[in-house]
Amino acid sequence: MAAPASAQTGYPPGLCTPVSGTQSVGNVNIGQRFVLQLAPTCLFTPGTPLTVTVNNAPIPGKTAEATGIALVDVTVVSATQLSIDDPILVPAICGTNTVVASGASQSAQGGRSTQTATFTLNCPSVPVTTVTSGGILSRTGASSLRYGAVALALVMVGSLTVVATRRRRADPTL
């Protein structure tokens, strides 16, 4: 004979325990626009305010979407500046940039969940130059040395012409 059936234990399921997570977005370039979907394992409570930072700069007014995730619209303006959700400008870093969202979560143990996303900003490389004694300075624009020499020669010719053709005082002894 079989043992009698018993009720299941552990229902409803327990609280979500991975209350923080990370995700890597990959590489981005200057001028690129993308939307980060910060989706923690323990989803945010829909409609609740979130604390969002980009490279430690606060992004005010963010709330969790109906699906329990946070959306962050990022535009790489330059190697030193990001535009978040269009009106907010924050510093960019050539290399790894970090976006962190934290907020209330009904399913998370402790009632809060945090998700971190990173992306790598590819910046154009700038050649490194070393200044040494006796080095040559770079030349930009037109060289004015030739025009300066011509101008000096013309001034000299004009001065000699004036001296040679000037009227001399008549000598009274003659």
Which pLDDT tens digit goes with each residue over 89-133? 999 999 999 999 999 999 888 899 999 999 999 998 765 555 455
User: At CA 43, angle to CA 76 and CA 95, rounded to 5?
Assistant: 25
Is residue 103 situated within a structural domain? Answer: yes
Is residue 145 situated within a structural domain? Answer: no
Q: Give all strands of the β-sheet with 33-38 in edge-to-edge order.
A: 33-38, 70-78, 81-84, 88-91
pTM of the model: 0.63
> Can you tell me the distance from the alpha carbon of 169 to that of 174, in angstroms, rounded to the nearest whole number?
12
Q: What pLDDT does 87 receive?
A: 84
> Can you tell me the distance from the alpha carbon of 158 to that of 142, in angstroms, rounded to the nearest whole number?
27
Is residue 74 situated within a structural domain? Answer: yes
Number of compact structural domains in the chain:
1
50-92 confidence digits (pLDDT tens)? 999 999 999 999 999 999 999 999 999 999 999 999 889 999 9
CATH number of the domain encompassing residue 46: 2.60.40.10
Is residue 146 situated within a structural domain? Answer: no
Is residue 141 situated within a structural domain? Answer: no
Residue 117 exposure: Cα atoms within 13 Å on the Cβ side: 23
Report the relative pairing of strands 88-91 and 57-59 from DSSP bridges: unpaired
Is residue 13 situated within a structural domain? Answer: no
Is residue 129 situated within a structural domain? Answer: no
Is residue 163 situated within a structural domain? Answer: no
Domain of residue 40 covers: 20-122
